Structure 1
Amino acid sequence: MRSMTGFGRGESASEKVRVVVELQSVNRRFFDLNLQIPQEMSALEQELRGWIHCELARGSVTLRVAVDYLDLAACPLHPNLPLVKGMQRAWEEMATACGIPFEPQAFWQMVGQHPEVLTCDRLPFGEKEVLHAAVEQAVKALVKMREREGQHLCRDLSERLAKLGEQLSRVESLLPAALGEWRGRLEKKVKELEGVLPEMMERVSQEIVTYLDRGDITEEITRCRSHFDQFGRCLEKTEENVGKQLDFLLQEIFREVNTIGSKAQDATLSSFVVAMKSEIEKMREQIQNIE
């Protein structure tokens, strides 16, 4: 099991270039990749997407690539003359306005602090193997972090599932007494009506039986336990991409618990149902971050 949150970094170099790759991912229902790459790598965009998507199935992923050219011949430099001349004019105007002489040495020291005065004719990136190696490192680091986070989420969900099972057992143990008390209240009302509407008693008795049957939640409890078992087996799976399965099962669990709550005619039962819904909501938040 993997989380969808993580970070990975990779670095690779040749005699000509050094490439640094950073990958960051957060939860998202589907896979989405945002590329922040140098312009000279634009021709490799589809390959980059393929390298990453084959390892990551879901999540919003951001890829950042930085290139350091060790061989300057691979990146011819040209002066940005309009910018330098504009800076010189401004420097001379400031010197004249302040009544001090223009100092070329100080000016060129200032120019050297601005890398934008040099432009680079970037050639198409030709070090694909170096880039691939850096991406591979970053993906492995990201996956490792996502797996560690996934283990924490798995433990948390297992504990919450056990708690749900305990709460459901309490509901099941309280059910006979709750139904008995409910039946007793209804029978008392029936006896009060016997002397008033004797001709209606048979029909009233039938309605009471039907009403009590509708309040029986044993089927919902059975289905809940089945969903709990399936949910637990999903947590034990070693394969990836179980997030959608867990989300579906949790929706089914919530549906059954909600039905139990609507049928419950007992304050104690209702309190356990509220606690179960609260636990399910916490589990839902965790599942949103599972791949």
Structure 2
Amino acid sequence: MTGYGRATKAFGSKTITVELRSLNSKFTDIRMKVPSNFREKEHMLRRFIIGKIERGKADLLIEVKSHDGEEGFGLNVPLFKKYHRELTAIADELGGTKDGIIAAILRIPNVVVSEEDDIDEEEWKQIESTINEAISNFMDFRKAEGAAMEKDLRLRVSNISQMLQEIDPFEKGRVTRLRNRLKQNLEEFMGKENVDENRFEQEVLFYLEKIDITEEKVRLAQHCSFFLEQLDAKKTSKGRKLSFIGQEMGREINTLGAKAYSADIQRIVVQMKDDLEKIKEQIANSV
């Protein structure tokens, strides 16, 4: 499920910014970007974030910026001089220009390094407070998105339940058409006087049993009811169970289509499938 939360706090001459965002994913994957002197807190942060977001591909960004420019970065002077000496010698040897050598050296890894100070516990407490605020904003974002998603899911399930009721008027007509078609084909093939009515009725009953959709209708109605019950449940993590129920609904709808023997019922089944696909898309975005 997607989500976004951001929080900012002032601490002395510094500004602490925490940003948490997530994208849809079946698994939990946390990527973090934190100041180097807080790296030892990464494992604890990872467990904490996983416990909050439950599932999804999340990015956590923590920035600590100083207002007076003391960002904790330094220049590795010996390494800088070594690169400058060697690059200047190469430029002299090849007769090339020396313009831009300094800028190029500064982009080389480890030339400009961060100064890793010990963890300031007071600063870390402020960072923790900012993280909690960002997570709170993140969860509010998810709740708002979840409410809109729930409204749409209820609408789609209601549509399927309504269309299920619309099938009833077409059931009796398809039985009559099947009986007439079988009798007509049999009379054309064998002749009317050679048709055994008793055997014909047995064959009709056999076909009626094959195309009977009562069980599928009952099960689909139960699945729709169970789906709504899960939406009403107080649990926050419902995605996997709703996905499973959606799969079961799909099986019953497909069987209804296979047994339809009616253009009108097939039309309703197609509309059901359209709503079911929208349900699956929404569930894929949920936790």
TM-score (norm 1): 0.81
In the alignment, what sits opposite 1:195?
193
Cα deviation, 1:213-251, whole Å, max 9, x if unaligned, reads 111101111111111111112222343011112111111
In the alignment, what sits opposite 1:125?
119
Change (3 A) 1:73 1:280: closer
- Partners of 1:197 and 1:183 lie apart in 2 by 14
Which among 262, 265, 269 is matched to residue 265 of structure 2?
269
Return the offset for 1:83.
Answer: 3.6
- Partners of 1:197 and 1:172 lie apart in 2 by 32
Q: Does 1:43 align with 2:40?
A: yes
Return the offset for 1:69.
Answer: 4.4
Answer whether contact 1:24 1:61 (CA < 8 A) is retained: yes
Answer whether contact 1:8 1:141 (CA < 8 A) is retained: yes
Which among 251, 254, 278 is matched to residue 274 of structure 2?
278
In the alignment, what sits opposite 2:286?
290
Question: In structure 2, the residue corresponding to 1:265 is in which secondary structure?
Answer: coil
Return the offset for 1:46.
Answer: 1.4
Change (3 A) 1:70 1:30: same
Change (3 A) 1:202 1:135: same
Answer whether contact 2:73 2:112 (CA < 8 A) is retained: no
Change (3 A) 1:186 1:26: same
**Greater relative CO, 1 or 2 (CA 8 Å, sep 6+):** 1
Answer whether contact 2:65 2:71 (CA < 8 A) is retained: no
Cα deviation, 1:87-143, whole Å, max 9, x if unaligned, reads 79999xx9xx9xxxxxxxxxx9x99x99x9754321243332122112111111111
- Partners of 2:142 and 2:240 lie apart in 1 by 16
> How do 1:235-246 and structure 2 match up within 5 A?
235-246=231-242
Change (3 A) 1:89 1:248: closer
In the alignment, what sits opposite 2:141?
145
> How do 1:184-223 and structure 2 match up within 5 A?
184-192=180-188, 193=190, 194-196=192-194, 198=196, 202-223=198-219
Name the amino acid aligned to 2:193.
G
Question: In structure 2, the residue corresponding to 1:18 is in which secondary structure?
Answer: strand
- Partners of 2:29 and 2:117 lie apart in 1 by 29
- Partners of 1:80 and 1:289 lie apart in 2 by 51
Question: In structure 2, the residue corresponding to 1:150 is in which secondary structure?
Answer: helix
Tell me how large the CA RMSD over aligned residues is.
3.5
TM-score (norm 2): 0.82
Question: In structure 2, the residue corresponding to 1:123 is in which secondary structure?
Answer: coil
Question: In structure 1, the residue corresponding to 2:53 is in which secondary structure?
Answer: coil
Structure 1 stretches lacking a partner, 5+ long: 98-107
Name the amino acid aligned to 2:142.
R
Which among 231, 252, 257 is matched to residue 248 of structure 2?
252
- Partners of 1:202 and 1:89 lie apart in 2 by 104
Aligned sequence identity (%): 28
Name the amino acid aligned to 1:125.
I
- Partners of 2:35 and 2:45 lie apart in 1 by 13
